[in-house]
Structure 1
């Protein structure tokens, strides 16, 4: 697939932007979502999407909807994870509506209908995704329940979703995860000391900085993010974790070379050494 009209190195980058569910919901409360905060984030995402049509995919974290749906699944029901499909579509619909209200040609895509899970890796049937991007439509994705080769439905969390884009576009891919901390913290909870770089081939040191998950978290928290992002980086993506805030003036810097980002932005970057200065 060719994505039209590359102008500069930054313009050639394809962005997968994930807004973590913790930024717009309280995961401890079932089916909670702060629509006012979501709408503020949607304005920022919309500004970026309108500026770069066909050059980004949006991933919505499941938040309270997703975590609540899978917390107590019936282990004896091979299709129990189906509840995640309903829950995360509600989240996708909230984002899609807010994005469209801000002038974005946004469309929710249901991974349960376009992906299979083979050997624990999602295999995408890419036709709809590719056509949406070719037509300048912003795909809105989320976690879902995927069908395995033995006929079970398996939970596929939103941290894993950016991986389905790898191999589907012809330009360098940057995966940005906005969360409630400024990166991988080296000083424990409440710290603002951030690990600036993780070598995806040697990620063990990063895991030493993690602490136990909250009981209500079903996705592995930061450990789950590091696990998935290091895999994506080994497959060629440049990955960044940074704090999201609806008060920032713009997110357009996310498609600029990292060296040109605002000086007050902290982040953890995960990329192979030759990708460090992209």
Structure 2
């Protein structure tokens, strides 16, 4: 019996195995490069706009709905010092995100086939772009609408002057929630690419995903209707985008033998 084409074809990764110690050294180098990138990003942000400038930027949405001379307060003794540093660190991570993703790519790329390398790197940077879009959506739309909604229910006898520490924690949780939620197209494409689900099953699951998105939004966002709708609706739209993109993604990221088999079946 003749051998199958898959058996006759030489594995392009054959002979590329590395000792475990060499993997650890490579991991160490990539972690150091990540730290260097974070240090450069933090230094740039410390120079401009500076920790205080970053606080002023992220406080703009809530201050727009406060009295003209009102300011956020700092209840903790060390809050005026540590909170700006915390914001600086988180912003440095966001600024260096493409560099961090690139280091992850450089670490795993030797173990990928050529057809896998073609789609892995675009997915990494596309995921970073979606994370930026989710955070920008929070900063320039969600926070403004959410605080406007909350302020309308604030009694006239109550002065809404939030603590800077609690405010930063609240918006950082929103940044993380929306940044992760905007990865829905990436997750959908990978599920289809690795044949965990089919596009037809994803379409059938559409109604359940709508319910799931509202449940996730209710858990991850504050208990107000505006922020919950602002998370659930984009998740539903991104789910549909992921279904459309998955068909194109699977077609152009398939291995050569998979394409040959698909052509033969046709």
Higher helix share: 2
The TM-score, its normalising length taken from structure 1, stands at: 0.25
Larger Rg: 2
Higher strand share: 1
The TM-score, its normalising length taken from structure 2, stands at: 0.25
